[in-house]
Chain A
Amino acid sequence: MSKNSEYLIERENKQYEVIIGLEVHAQVTSESKLFSQSSTKFGAEPNTQVSLVDAAFPGMLPVINEFCIDQAIKTGIGLKAKINKKSVFDRKNYFYADLPQGYQISQYKYPIVGEGKVILDMPYGQKEIGIERLHLEQDAGKSIHDIDPNNTLVDLNRSGVALMEIVSKPDLRSPDEVNVYIKKLRSIMRYLGTCDGNMQEGSLRADVNVSVRLKGETEFGTRCEIKNVNSIKFMQMAIISEANRQIDLLEEGKDIDQETRLFDTKRNETRSMRSKEDAHDYRYFPDPDLLPLEISQELIEKIKSDIPELPDEKKKRFIDKFNLSPYEATILVSDIETSNFFEEVIKNSDVKLATNWITGELFAVLNEKNLEISQSPVSAKNLSKLINLIKDGTISGKIAKTVFEQMIDGDQDPLIIVKEKGLKQESDPKAIEELINKVIENNSDKVAEYKSGKDKLFGFFVGQAMKESKGKGNPQLINKILKEKLNG
């Protein structure tokens, strides 16, 4: 089933393959921090959500927030991964002004979640990306260098916030796959409610590992890690730029140094941050303030039973039950809000029409207005009413578009619009026949031409009839009666 895209970078008859692995840092959706009761709310005044534990006062001790553990287990289940019954919190020691303890509590040798997988829907088929592990760790605070000209300021609101680090295997092969992978990961976590995936607020960031090799080569090249990239676009740019940098080096016969790099978004290039020799020695060791984390099978089962239907399963159901194309199903399940909206609409209306209207008209409006589906100007209820009006022949698809345009303004009820504007479709055969007779009468010359073999004129008659009905004539009926009259 797995198939590689052929994303290759060419250099004088040579083709290079790009190998990518991601370490995604996803903020756990939780009211309070991983080891303290401080709030995690985004956007608060600096240093207003800091407990004595977060600021590492003498004698303060971390106490695990069990909700965050549940969230990590849930995410692990969503990634079809092994949940480790025993895991250990370690200290990762390094000095920095926004790291109050002088160490980050993380999981090193024994993470809470082991190997799993994520399925990507690529244009060339499905591709499985392996998950190496998921572990829990605390976020650091934030150093602010651009407010005071002489000092660095520190905001500890983020200090101690729970993060899940999700490490992929080096299975990604192109910027497109990275795009789909991040979106899929985000989608799964949003379905689960374990991470809001908000990249603007820093809830989802990634360290990107990139290496290159000649096509056909089986050994991996030397990789570089690009730290802390916070949007999909920047990840893609960083990958392309870094891969080309590495290829240029190889082409010049130089070696690639294993190092940590930063992506300069303004100059669209990566810069060396520290070499392997300068790499921190984090002196990991088990945090003696915390006991090893033991998880019972009972808890895992309990969480499993609460897992909602995830995108892959939902997609399968949409295809099997509603006869949607894989493409349509993929679009509709990509975001939980979208799939919920879709299911709400089809409760009382036609599936095919609903699919077309949501992925067509509604998405166009959302795109144009830059809105999320949760902010849709048209409610599922009213969209479903509109679809029913089309289905039962009250209005034509064309009229429906006019009605929809008006519905956008304040989520108006389509029934009322149709009534008030008199847009109801004319479906009475007698009335249609009458107006067709009128058209035939007024265009006798054209009728003669038609009868002499100018078939193309049929469209002209339809147009005239439609015009005569002020756009309200049932198109199918007009077609049918016109044919009878003209061919009869």
Chain B
Amino acid sequence: MSDITSQSLFELTSNVKEKKLSSGEITKAFIDRAEKSKKLNVYVTDNFEKAIDQSKKFDSNPNFDLKLPGIPIAVKDLFCTNGVRTTAGSKILNNFVPTYESTVTQNLWSQGAILLGKLNCDEFAMGSSNETSFFGNVQNPVGENLVPGGSSGGSSAAVAANLTPVTIGTDTGGSIRQPASFTGTVGLKPTYGSCSRYGIVAFASSLDQAGPMTKNVRDCSILLEVISSFDQKDSTSIDYKRNCYSKELSKDIKGKKIGIPKEYRVDNMPDEIEQLWKNGISYAKDCGAEIIDISLPHTNYALPTYYIVAPAEASSNLARYDGVKYGFRSPGQNLIEMYEKTRSEGFGDEVKRRIMIGTYVLSSGYYDAYYLKAQKVRKLIKKDFDDAFSKVDAILTPSTPSSAFKIGEKTNDPVSMYLNDIFTVPINLAGLPGISIPAGKDKNNYPLGLQVIGKPFDEQNILNISYALEDKINFKNDISDWWLSE
């Protein structure tokens, strides 16, 4: 048996069920490794003591019928966890301990999983490099001083560094798929309405979705099966029959029509990304898929549209952090002064930037030119996909226009940072499912990902295509454990 922490979720679950490993052993192995991995800065808050207790409790009365029997899992610190501090990567929630549990994490615990801790992320999930977190940047295990992507950067790093078997992130404009791509891991953003948003600290409500981040496609299918559920506590949750994604997982994609959108060939895209995409196309062909050139004409407008819609919603969603009820408060002589001090000291620069953008685009006199127009363009983008999906079953694109960059490289250039999301953002705007799988490496040996986009509620199809491609690509993430301390 290989080292515990390098095992996939599927392997760990099988070993628990076959009584080859106990929950206690697994939990201890991950905690031991985490103790030696502080340099990566993936944890904001650990739950190690309670996790040990819970694993012992599981072992004393194990239930092997569960899908995640005694499996320790760390989650992004955007999910509210009952009794465990939840910060959203922000000073303003530095001391916030929820008395409730998000539906998605509750689904994990209901299937036997144990909370290992809360993973670092960009402040309020706003960022593409995990550098906006109040708790400091996260190191990408792929290479020193390399960003792990964002906003689910602690999550992607933790999976790649074998600090959690799997994790869940959230994706508003690429926050699962881009970090997955940067760390050589798998990340899926489900259809909007698949996973409940109840108990997830909101960034942009019409775009936010939770999703699995894993080492491979099979684990991804298992985790999606657990976290996706209809929830009456979220009015945007959709009641539909969800597949048993892991049971129905298949590499047979013969005859599937896969679309290649010409608009995703952007200017200045590195040759290696172009090459990666070509390889992906030929693998898909090898698997018997039919490749069809398609057009998504409004692709160019997706990024500006996103950077109107998301900040607009965020500016309103973040109004509740005012120092009155919970979280950080900086006292003032009167209410207005208290608001001003609390919010200017409590929020970081990127969050403030987006609150200002959002406030601006919703202001009277500007609303029609920005917010309303963006909503119209959003409809056109959605229609592009609807039209495309009348011809194809899925769409294949690169996940990101580049590989992981150096820490600090883009912090002073927000626009270049925002460009990272160029291939992922349209999928959120259209509410579609998208998955990023590791597909190759660049000249620095940094991982690169391919994205498979599906029809609404067609997660099974993109999982199957990814499963088939994964097999052909046979990606190996050679991570040297450079950060380990004794």
A contacts, CB < 8 Å to B: 52, 55-64, 91, 93, 95-97, 100-103, 152, 154, 281, 283-285, 288-291
Contact = CB atoms under 8 A, between A and B. Distances in A.
A161 to B, nearest CB: 18
B20 interface: no
Contacts of A288: 204-206, 236, 313
24 contacts: A52-B99, A57-B325, A58-B80, A58-B93, A58-B98, A59-B200, A60-B198, A60-B199, A61-B197, A61-B198, A61-B233, A93-B315, A95-B319, A95-B339, A97-B335, A102-B316, A102-B319, A283-B316, A285-B312, A285-B362, A285-B371, A288-B204, A288-B236, A291-B235
B86 interface: yes
Ordered nearest first, which 6 A-B pairs have the shortest CB separation?
A: A102-B319, A283-B362, A288-B205, A288-B206, A59-B199, A56-B320
Contacts of A62: 235
A101 B320 contact: yes
B320 A152 contact: no
Nearest to B375: A286
Contacts of A56: 320, 325
B232 A63 contact: yes
B411 to A, nearest CB: 26
B367 interface: yes
A100 B324 contact: yes
Given A61-B233, A291-B236, A95 B316 contact: no
B201 interface: yes
Contact of B319 (A60, A97, A103): A103
Contacts of A55: 325
B367 A57 contact: no
B88 A58 contact: yes
Interface string B197-215: 1111110111000000000
Chain B interface, >50% SS class: loop
Contacts, number: 97
Interface in B338-369: 339, 359, 362-364, 367
B482 interface: no
B313 A154 contact: no
Contact of A59 (B201, B232, B236, B371): B201
B359 A57 contact: no
Interface of B: 79-80, 86, 88, 93, 96, 98-100, 102, 197-202, 204-206, 232-236, 312-313, 315-316, 318-320, 322, 324-326, 335, 339, 359, 362-364, 367, 371
A281 B364 contact: yes
Contacts of B335: 96-97, 152
B98 A289 contact: no
A91 B315 CA distance: 11
Nearest to B193: A291
Contact of B324 (A154, A284, A291): A154
Contacts of B313: 285, 288
A60 B318 CA distance: 12
Contacts of A52: 99-100
Contact of A102 (B96, B199, B200, B320): B320
A58 B324 CA distance: 13
Given A58-B96, A100-B325, A101-B320, A290 B235 contact: yes
Given A59-B198, A100-B325, A285 B316 contact: yes
A289 B96 contact: no
A52 B367 CA distance: 31
Contacts of B312: 285
A380 B96 CA distance: 60
Nearest to B96: A58
Contacts of A91: 316
A285 B367 contact: yes
Nearest to A289: B205
Contacts of B100: 52, 57
B236 A103 contact: no
Contacts of A61: 197-198, 233-235
Nearest to B326: A57
A96 B335 CA distance: 8
Contacts of A101: 319-320
Contact of A100 (B80, B204, B236, B320): B320
Contacts of A285: 312-313, 316, 362, 367, 371
Contacts of B325: 55-57, 100
Contacts of B199: 59-60
A91 B205 CA distance: 13
Given A100-B324, A101-B319, A284-B362, 10 more contacts: A56-B320, A61-B235, A62-B235, A93-B315, A95-B319, A100-B320, A100-B325, A283-B359, A285-B371, A288-B313
Given A93-B319, A102-B322, A285-B371, A59 B339 contact: no
Contacts of A63: 232-235
B98 A57 contact: yes
Contacts of A100: 320, 324-325
A283 B363 contact: yes
Contact of A93 (B86, B205, B362, B371): B362
A95 B322 contact: yes
B436 to A, nearest CB: 25
A33 to B, nearest CB: 15
Nearest to B199: A59
| Max chain A C-beta neighbours (<10 A), residue from B236, B319, B339 | B319
A61 to B, nearest CB: 5
A277 B296 CA distance: 45
Contacts of B371: 285
A57 B100 CA distance: 10
Contacts of B99: 52
A289 B319 contact: no
| Max chain A C-beta neighbours (<10 A), residue from B79, B198, B312, B316 | B316
A281 B361 CA distance: 12
B3 to A, nearest CB: 36
A57 B363 CA distance: 26
A58 B328 CA distance: 13
Nearest to A64: B235
